[in-house]
Amino acid sequence: MRYWLMKSEPDEVSFDDVLSAPGQTVAWFGVRNYQARNFMRDAMAVGDGVLFYHSSCAVPGVAGLAEIASAPYPDATQFDPASPYHDPKATRETPRWISIDVRALEAGRHVPLAELRANPALEGMALLQKGSRLSITPVARSEWDAVVKLMRAKGA
């Protein structure tokens, strides 16, 4: 089992949106970075843990726990000319971009980025490194455990 941090802008797809979706599952679409795509295509497996992270918002941070709920499949938005994620170079025969389904598991307490930065157990976390911009990053088991502990802390 592996662990991941996946960033979503809450005005596009928030953790609450996932919680209210049928089966508490949504398609993760619109990834247009090759390294993030390769994580989805080559490294993620059903049941892997996900730290669902809200980015580009007033208080960025981990909003909930989720899991990978499907094998990778072609991202349909790459074929739709009306989509902001359209890729004219992609074809149905040779898709370039991947989607994967993500299922919400637990809301917990929102853990702001500032709190993650202040936790010594997370100093090596990819999210917290200078220049880290990827929407999907691997998370070490120790980092996963530290974030879950923060999410479940009462009155923190």
Q: Which of 137, 155, 13, 5 is nearest to 65 (CA)?
A: 5
In terms of Cβ atoms closer than 10 Å to its own Cβ (0-12, 13-18, 19+), residue 84 is exposed
92-121 per-position pLDDT tens digit: 999 999 999 999 999 989 999 999 999 999
Q: Residue 156: what pLDDT?
A: 56
- Residue 109 bridge partners (DSSP): none
Look at the chain and report how many structural domains it folds into. Answer: 1
- Helix, strand and coil percent figures for the chain, each rounded to 5: 30, 25, 45
Q: Which domain holds residue 68?
A: 3-152
Q: What percent of the chain has a predicted confidence (pLDDT) above 70?
A: 99
Residues of the chain with pLDDT under 50: none
- The CATH number of the domain holding residue 138 is 3.10.590.10
